[in-house]
Amino acid sequence: MPDIRILPETISNKIAAGEVVERPVSVVKELIENALDAKATSLLIEVSKGGRDLIRVSDNGYGMSKDNALLSIERYATSKIVDDRDIFSIKSFGFRGEALPSIASISRFTLVSRTHDSGHGVKIEIDGGKFINVSDTGAPAGTMVEVKNIYYNTPARRKFLKSVNTEMGHIADSVSAFALAFPDVTFCLNHNGRTVRHFTSSDSMLSRIEKVLGVENSLDRNEPSVFSNHSLSQDSHLNDSDFLVSRHGTGHFSNSERLFPVQFQSGNIIVTGYVGSPFVTRSSGARILLFVNSRVVSDRNIVSAIVRGFKGRIMKGKFPVAAIFLEIPCDEVDVNVHPAKLQVRFVNQGNVFEAVSTAVNEALSRGENSIICEKIDSQPGYCGATDALEVGEEQKTIKNSSLGTKVDYSDLSLFDWEKKHDEPCLDDDHDSGLWQDCNVPHYENDELNFHARQNLSDLYDSINAMDRSMAVEQCASETEQKYDCETGEQDSSETVEQYTSETGDQYSSETGKDYDSKSGSQSSDEPFISLKPEGQFAAQKSGDRFLSKIPDKGRDSSFFASLNIIGQLFGTYIVAQFKDKMVLIDQHAAHERVVFEKLKKRSISFRPPSQRLIVPETLELNYRESALLEKIMKGLSTLGIEVEPFGDNTFVIKSIPGIIDNKVIKPLLMDILDMLLTSGVEDDFFEEKNHTSLKNSVVESFGGRDWLDDILILISCHNAVRANHSLRSEEIKALMQELDSCQAPFHCPHGRPLIVEFSRREIEKSFKRTG
Task: For the CB of residue 591, give the shortest distance to other proteins in the complex, in Å.
Answer: 17
DSSP label at residue 400:
I
User: Which DSSP category does 507 fall into?
Assistant: G
Which residue lies nearer to other proteins by CB, 34 or 655? 655
Which letter does DSSP use for residue 686 in this model? B
Can you state the angle between helices 349-372 and 450-485, rounded to 10 degrees?
130
Among 232, 613, 675, 763, binds other proteins (CB under 8 A): 613
- Binding part of the chain for other proteins, among 55-63, 257-265, 319-327, 605-613 by CB under 8 A, reads 605-613
Residue in 220, 416, 491, 661 binding other proteins, rule: CB under 8 A: 661
Judged by CB under 8 A, the chain residues 75 through 134 that form the site for other proteins are none
Least distance in angstroms from the C-beta of 159 to other proteins: 50
Q: Which of 283, 405, 487, 605 binds other proteins (CB under 8 A)?
A: 605
Indicate whether 298 belongs to the interface with other proteins (CB under 8 A): no
Neighbour tally for 1: CB within 10 Å: 3
Does 652 help bind other proteins (rule: CB under 8 A)? no
CB 465 within 8 A of CB 507: no
Nearer to other proteins, 661 or 671 (CB): 661
Stretch that binds other proteins, among 252-260, 362-370, 571-579, 657-665 (CB under 8 A): 657-665
670 binds other proteins (CB under 8 A): no
662 binds other proteins (CB under 8 A): yes
- Minimum distance between the CB of residue 609 and other proteins, rounded to whole angstroms? 4
Q: Which of 115, 266, 572, 610 binds other proteins (CB under 8 A)?
A: 610
Q: Which is nearer to other proteins, 342 or 711 (CB)?
A: 711
CA 729 from chain centre, in angstroms, equals 41
Residue 645 binds to other proteins (criterion: CB under 8 A): no
Nearer to other proteins, 611 or 649 (CB): 611
Is 561 one of the binding residues for other proteins (CB under 8 A)?
A: no
d(CA 359, CA 365): 10
Give the Cα separation of 291 and 748 in Å (integer).
31
For other proteins, which is the closer residue by CB, 655 or 759?
655
Give Rg (Cα) of the chain: 28
Residues 6+ apart with CB under 8 A from 189: 45, 47, 171, 172, 175, 195, 196, 197, 198
First to last CA, the chain: 81
Least separation in angstroms between residue 646's CB and other proteins is: 14
Q: How far is the CB of 598 from other proteins (least distance, A)?
A: 8
The smaller minimum CB distance to other proteins, of residues 244 and 670, is found at 670
Contact criterion met (CB below 8 Å) for 81 and 95: yes
By CB under 8 A, residue 602 contacts other proteins: yes
Q: Which residues pair with 581 in a beta bridge?
A: 578, 759
729 CB-side CA count, 13 A = 6
Which residue of 9, 450, 658, 691 would you call a contact of other proteins, by CB under 8 A?
A: 658
For other proteins, the binding residue among 85, 612, 728, 768 (CB under 8 A) is 612
Q: Map the footprint of other proteins across residues 699-758, applying CB under 8 A.
A: 711-712, 715
Does the footprint of other proteins cover residue 283 (CB under 8 A)?
Answer: no
Q: How many CB atoms lie within 10 A of CB 340?
A: 15
Q: Measured between alpha carbons, how far is 208 from 250 in angstroms, rounded to an integer?
A: 10
Closest CA to 302 of 316, 314, 317, 291: 291
SS3 333: strand
Q: Which of 352, 328, 353 is nearest to 532 (CA)?
A: 328
Q: Which stretches of the chain bind other proteins, using CB under 8 A?
A: 599, 602-603, 605-615, 617, 642, 655, 658-659, 661-664, 711-712, 715
